[in-house]
Every structure is written in C-alpha cells, then in structure tokens.
C-alpha cells in the first residue's frame, strides 16, 4: 500500500485541482511527490486544463516532507541524486509548468509543504493558516528550494528569522510579508484560487516564478552583512550545532551565484545533514514527544476523555499560581483556594504578574489579559468546589496536611472529580490514605515556573483508574504541556534522574575536581546549567530536603556530602541569598568565589576522603561521563521498576524537565550511542575506586553483558537475555 498520493480533478472552468492526500497532515512522502509530478505532467499535457490549483485534503495544505521516511533515507545504501525533488519536481515541473498554478493554503503549509506552495505562481491562504520552514528543528535545512525562495519572497532578514527559529507565521502576517498574495476564508479558498489562476493566465495578475524574484533581496554587500550577523547569532545561540551555519552558507551561495546554483548547494547540503547524528537525534525527539501520549493498557482501551470545565487549585504559592496561570491561559476557569485573604491576594497577584509579564513582552494583548484574569476566582472555603471537575493540590510538602486536604476534598467535590496532587516528593498512596477515593487520586507534577516549563509528569499509583489518566492526558494537551505518565516513587522520573547529577558533582569536587570547570564542561555539553549553578538556582533548602528523601529511600547509593549543609549553615543558601557555590551581583550574574575552597576542604575532611590526582586533571570527556553515567544508571532503574513506560519517555523527560540537549536525542538515546557495555565498564571501574554511588544496576549490567541497547523494550531484551 502506498503512502499518500495526489488527486487531480479538472473542472468545467478548465482549472485542474491537485489535492495532496496523506492523512493526518498530508505529509510529502515519496509516493506523494511522485504523484505530484505525475499530476502536474498530466495537467500540462491535457488540452482541457488551462491552469492549476494545488491544495491539501481536509483543511490542511501539507505538514511537509514525511519525517517517518528519514529512517529509510538514513539506512539506504544508494540514494537518489541530489536535487531530484527540488530541481526536477519542484522547480522544473511545478514552477516551470506552462500552465499557471496557485497554492490554496488552509491549516498548515510547513517545510516541504510551504516549499511546494512557494513554487506555485501565487499563494492564497486563510488568515489563520500556519506557514513556516521548521526544518532546522529537525537538524536539517529546507531541502525543496526553501532556502532560495523564502528570501526572495519575504526578504533576507525575515527569511533568516523564520528558518533559524523554525517558527511559523500565521496567514495574516504571511500576507503582509508578501509570502501569500491574498487572504481568503476557508469556504471561499479553492474557488478564489481557481479564479486567481485563470486571472494569471489572462495576464490580469502577475505570473511570478519566486525563484527568480529579485526585488526583495538586498544587494550582495548588504546581504553579506546580514548573513554575517546571523552567523554570529547562530554561533552564540547554538554553539554545538553546525546545520544553522550550513543553512546560512546555502542562502549566501544562492545570492552570490544565482538561485539554481543555490538549489544545487541546498540539495547537497541536505543530503549530508539528513544522515547526521544531530538529525537522527532530533527526529527521535520529534516522534518521542508524540509518543508520550501512547500508554499501553491505558490509551488503547478506547476510553474517551471527559470534559474538564472547571479546575480548583489549592495553594496560591509559586507552583499553585503558575498552574493557575497555565490553565487560564488555555481558557479553563479556575478557583484558587487559600487559607486566608492575605495569602489569597498574594496568589492572585502572582497570577496577575505572570500574565502582565507576557503583556509587557508583547506576547499578550491587554484584552486577552483581562479575559484570562476573568477566568480566575479566589476562594477561602470549599463551597465553590461542588461543581469542579478537577482539583490540583499545590500546598507545602507536609504529609498530614495533604492527608487532611484530600479527606476534605472527598467530602466537598463531586464523585467524578479528579483529585490531583502536585507533590514532588510525597508518596501518593500516603496522601490518599484517609480517603476511599484512591482510584481518582493522581499526581500532576508540574515544573517551576509551571506556566512556562513544557513538561507534566502524570503520576499513577496502582489504584489510579485508566479513565483518570486519559482525562489528565487530555488536559495536558489543552494546556500545551507534554505529558509523561510515570509510576509512584520518590522523585518520580525527572527528579530521580536529576538527583545523581548534583551528587556526582559533589563526589568529584570533594576528591579534588574543580567545581567551576565541571559546570563549564557540562554547559558546553549543552545543559543550560551545570550541577552547581543549578543547585544555587534551586536553593539549598530544597536541595537538602530532597537529599533527605533520597538518603531515606536509597541509602546505598546516596553520596552523603556535607558541602551544601556547611554552606547553608553560613547563610550561603544559593542565588536568593546572593551566595552559594557562586557569588551573585544584582543582575543575577554568577562569579566564582575563591573562598569556596575552605568549605570544600572542611567537607572533604568530614567525608574522610583525600584529593585524588587523577580527578584533579579530568578531561572534558571524563567529566561528562562521570556526571552523566550515574544519571543514566538511575534512569535504568526507573525503567527496570516500570516507573517509566519506555526509554523514549525518559528522553523527553530529560529534554523537557532537565534541559538535556535535544540534539543529543535525550538521555537514553545519547547513552545508546555510547553503548551499554562501555557505560557499564566505566561505572564498574569507578565503583571500585570511589564506592557504591557508581555501582551499575542490574538492568544496566544485564544489557551490557549481551550488548543490548538500554532503550530496547523489555520484552525484546528479555528474549535476548
Ligand atoms: C525537504 C523538506 O524541506 C524537509 C521537510 O519538510 S521536514 C518536515 C517539516 N515539517 C515539520 O517539521 C512539521 C512537523 N509537524 C508538526 O510540527 C506538527 O505535527 C503539526 C504542526 C504539523 C501538527 O501538530 P498537531 O496538530 O499538534 O499534531 P501532531 O500530534 O504533532 O501530529 C499528528 C500526527 O502527524 C504526524 N506528523 C506530523 N507532521 C509530520 C510529517 N511532516 N511527517 C510525518 N508525520 C508527521 C505526527 O507524527 C502525528 O502522528 P501520530 O498521530 O501517529 O502521533
């Protein structure tokens, strides 16, 4: 069975409508591309066809090249010659057709989809359609002529912005940029496009080949300045990535040597990038992100999510107000409950401040701000909880307080209501102990700031009903969070994986490694912050509280350093006190503190360890491995205990919860590029030298023994073990 096609229909007016059909997003598979060429050839041949309209089925023009075909391209021994799509099909067949063509764009025209549209002689779109070239997000560059045509349609600066940020523009903006020639409502779209195509034929409208447009392109000297600036920006923003620079080079080639040379250079560069590790990693992340909502035994039962029309939040602190902000931003009415008027006012003001900062940045209109605020109601009692569909508890981490709250909720909320807790450390079974509603108790673990961070851990206990999980998955989609369904344990998936990150840092520093060098190397690897800068940001109060949880639950593998408590004792509690591992100025700029050595020496003597010359001169590679392999080891335990459903979910958790660089494919994907055998042997060695903290877990040992990837599903691995 083929993967999609185009359908050609010729009307009485002599206009051939070529429709791209490949659900769900009409992506351009090779079958679709071949069929597009055949449809154009047929339309050119047929005497009854005067002009052509290209459109997409069911309100979507096209989501671009078929990303699921990348794997095949990467594995293929022989590949078609560069440019057979961008030159032979898109340029020499579509754009060079003897009959004028108009793209009728509804829904989306992304990547290859927009590139096909740009090769047509005019474009019409609905005001809300999304148009963009997001290829860089996948580690490639536009490969169907986008690097050449977009600058010629919208100018170099805007084209660079659209490609380098991968952000689409809406039809309305596309029109003002000159990317589309007219805005039309969805019902009128195809009919208007038909007339437009005939108008071109009859010279009532211009017949434009975008590839040869010159009016929007700056003269070469000026263009080179703009490109130079873009290069500097790209190097600064993504120092580990090469493909943004390749994209800029390809654009430059087209401006300097002409668009056809540019097309060829684009095709060659695309062919090189599509097989790169960066592309493989980012494509993995693309599918892994969409895969988190597929939970075996839960989402395959045909359950339909129930509508959540109103949510109550308990606690207006940092987390509660952030969660309330996320909900009202997605048009969901919220009741925010606090224990007294002062706290309630503070909570409502936090929500207000969150939204106002959007208004200030120009991301939100005053009207939308007022609309969002009108969805928030404060409350000091449970009276208004009678008709809520979901409650999210976000009070301080105190077991008996939470137990009381859940017992109250059972009394005041309707029986269908989802009872969620945002706890990050307390066992959900304990929280629900005083209720008979264990089946509707679920964890909704947001990350701070909750209205900004994209991840939501949905924590299920052995009693949580599948319907509740399906409901919360649906809510996460509505509030634009990526959900990961995890099991109930200390730290769930993200905090559990994150814990050894700082621990490894502390162990190394006590044995003589340079703290600031560790942070530098880890940041260079691609993390937003190294373990020490992060600990400063989170604050030592939280670090010590979490540490206590881990010592209680995982004593055999928790490294008990006194460094953080010693600093805390001296009122150096991290960034909020302007002193932690670093010193902070008024602008939050961190600088190293020579006095830190005194604390390190004290901690060293308490731990009874001495400086190890090997650890004083660690290479960058060693630092990366000694910090991250314990993280990988913990992730293996998380998988072994079925806390996470699949390794790809941990990749997404690492990328969205920890800031692990997506271009390395997430934690487990990255680990598999190094191999289970290698990781195991390194950990084994270090555990002999430095103790149980590094000891490889059984899951890792078993896979290393047979050379099985860490991310291979358990059932597949079992058959090989
Ligand atoms: C040579 C060319 O220059 C190269 C290219 O064109 S590369 C491709 C460029 N295009 C893109 O990057 C767009 C990628 N897609 C997206 O951003 C989003 O999917 C979207 C905006 C199109 C739709 O978003 P949304 O409505 O939230 O639905 P979403 O869940 O993401 O996607 C729906 C399904 O379509 C699939 N899909 C989306 N775009 C696809 C694509 N280009 N190829 C293959 N499958 C695609 C998704 O995997 C998902 O499948 P699933 O239901 O089995 O999980």
Q: What are the tens digits of pLDDT across the range 554-576?
A: 998 999 999 999 999 999 999 99
1, pLDDT greater than 60: no
The protein residue with its alpha carbon nearest to ligand 1, atom 15, reads 63
408-442 pLDDT, tens digit each: 999 999 999 999 999 987 889 999 999 999 999 99
Mean pLDDT within 125-139: 98
Predicted pLDDT at 370: 96
Predicted pLDDT at 721: 65
State the DSSP code for 504: H
Burial class of 489 by CB neighbour count within 10 A (0 to 12, 13 to 18, 19+):
middle
With contact defined as beta carbons under 8 Å apart, do 429 and 488 qualify? yes
Q: Out of 4, 25, 61, give the residue to mutate to test ligand 1, the one with the largest number of ligand atoms within 8 Å of its CB.
A: 25
Mean pLDDT of the chain: 96
Spell out which residues line ligand 1, taking CB within 6 angstroms.
Answer: 24-25, 27, 63-68, 108, 110-112, 115, 134-135, 138, 142-144, 146, 290
Of the chain, the percentage scoring pLDDT greater than 90 comes to 92
With contact defined as beta carbons under 8 Å apart, do 36 and 87 qualify? no
Nearest to 131 by CA among 147, 113, 144: 113
User: Considering Cα of 307, then 310, then 315, then 319, what sign does the dihedral take?
Assistant: positive
74, pLDDT greater than 90: no
**Which of 82-86, 125-129, 327-331 bottoms out in mean pLDDT, i.e. has the lowest?**
82-86
CA of 63 to the centre of ligand 1 (A): 6
154-193 pLDDT, tens digit each: 999 999 999 999 999 999 999 999 999 999 999 999 999 9
355-380 pLDDT, tens digit each: 999 999 999 999 999 999 999 999 99
HSE-up of residue 519 (Cα within 13 Å, Cβ side): 17
Asked if omega into 24 is within 30° of 0 (cis), the reply is yes
Which token pair is 41?
């050839």
The protein residue with its alpha carbon nearest to ligand 1, atom 39, reads 63
Query: What is the β-pairing status of strands 169-170 and 582-584?
Result: unpaired
Determine the Cα angle at 242 with ends 652 and 88, to 5°. 100
Residues marked active site are found at 115, 135
Predicted pLDDT at 76: 87
């Amino acid at each position: 069975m083929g993967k999609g096609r185009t359908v050609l229909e010729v009307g009485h007016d002599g206009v051939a409508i070529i429709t791209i059909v490949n659900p769900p997003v009409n992506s351009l598979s090779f079958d679709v591309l071949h069929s597009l060429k055949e449809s154009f050839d047929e339309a050119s041949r047929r005497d009854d066809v005067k002009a052509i309209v290209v459109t997409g089925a069911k309100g979507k023009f096209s989501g671009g090249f078929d990303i699921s075909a990348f794997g095949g391209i990467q594995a293929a021994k022989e590949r078609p010659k560069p440019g057979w799509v961008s030159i032979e099909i898109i340029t020499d067949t579509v754009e060079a057709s003897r009959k004028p063509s108009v793209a009728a764009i509804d829904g989306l025209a992304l990547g290859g989809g927009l590139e096909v549209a740009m090769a047509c002689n005019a474009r019409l779109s609905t005001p809300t359609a999304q148009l963009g070239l997001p290829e860089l997000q996948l580690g490639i560059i536009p490969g169907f002529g986008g690097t050449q045509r977009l600058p010629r349609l919208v100018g170099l600066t805007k084209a660079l912005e659209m490609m380098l940020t991968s952000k689409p523009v809406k039809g309305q903006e596309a029109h003002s940029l000159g990317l589309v020639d007219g805005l039309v409502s969805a019902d009128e779209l195809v009919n208007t496009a038909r007339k437009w195509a005939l108008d071109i034929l009859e010279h009532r409208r211009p017949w434009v080949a975008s590839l040869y447009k010159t009016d929007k392109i700056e003269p070469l000297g000026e263009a080179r300045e703009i490109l130079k600036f873009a290069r500097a920006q790209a190097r600064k923003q993504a120092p580990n990535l090469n493909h943004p620079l390749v994209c800029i080079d390809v654009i430059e080639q087209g401006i300097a040597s002409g668009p056809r040379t540019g097309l060829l250079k684009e095709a060659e560069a695309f062919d090189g990038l599509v097989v790169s590790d960066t592309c493989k990693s980012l494509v993995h992340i693309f599918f892994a992100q969409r895969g988190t909502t597929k939970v075996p035994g839960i989402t395959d039962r045909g359950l339909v999510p129930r509508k959540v029309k109103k949510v109550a939040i308990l606690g207006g602190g940092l987390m509660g107000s952030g969660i309330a902000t996320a909900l009202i931003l997605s048009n969901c009415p919220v009741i925010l409950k606090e224990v007294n008027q002062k706290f309630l006012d503070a909570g409502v003001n936090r929500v207000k401040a969150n939204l106002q900062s959007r208004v200030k940045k120009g991301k939100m209109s005053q009207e939308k701000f007022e609309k969002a605020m009108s969805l928030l109601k404060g409350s000091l009692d449970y009276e208004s909880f009678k008709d809520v569909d979901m409650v999210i508890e976000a009070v301080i981490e105190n077991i008996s307080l939470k137990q009381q709250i859940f017992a109250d909720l059972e009394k005041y909320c309707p029986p269908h209501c989802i009872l969620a807790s945002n706890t990050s450390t307390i066992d959900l079974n304990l929280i629900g102990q005083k209720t008979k509603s264990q089946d509707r108790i679920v964890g909704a673990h947001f990350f701070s700031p909750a209205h900004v961070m994209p991840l939501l851990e949905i924590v299920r206990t052995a009693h949580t009903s599948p319907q509740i999980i399906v409901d919360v998955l649906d809510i996460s989609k509505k509030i634009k969070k990526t959900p990961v369904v995890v099991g109930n344990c200390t730290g769930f998936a993200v905090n559990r994986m994150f814990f050894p990150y700082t621990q490894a840092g502390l162990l190394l520093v006590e044995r003589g490694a340079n703290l600031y060098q560790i942070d530098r190397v880890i940041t260079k690897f691609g993390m937003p912050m190294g373990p020490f800068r992060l600990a400063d940001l989170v604050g030592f109060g939280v670090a010590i509280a979490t540490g206590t949880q881990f010592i209680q639950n995982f004593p055999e593998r928790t490294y008990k350093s006194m460094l953080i408590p010693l600093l805390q004792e001296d009122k150096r509690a991290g960034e909020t006190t302007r002193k932690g591992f670093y010193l902070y100025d008024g602008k939050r700029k961190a600088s190293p503190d020579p006095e830190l050595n005194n604390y390190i020496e004290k901690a060293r003597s308490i731990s009874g360890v001495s400086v190890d010359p090997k650890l004083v001169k660690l290479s960058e590679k060693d630092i990366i491995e000694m910090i991250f392999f314990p993280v990988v080891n913990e992730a293996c335990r998380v998988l072994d205990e079925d806390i996470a459903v699949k390794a790809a979910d941990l990749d997404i958790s690492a990328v969205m919860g920890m800031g692990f660089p997506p271009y390395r494919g997430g934690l487990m994907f990255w680990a598999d590029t190094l191999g289970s055998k290698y990781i195991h042997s390194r950990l084994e060695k270090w555990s002999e030298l430095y103790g149980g903290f590094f000891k490889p877990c059984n899951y890792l040992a078993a896979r290393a023994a047979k050379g099985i990837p860490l991310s291979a599903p358990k059932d597949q691995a079992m058959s090989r073990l």
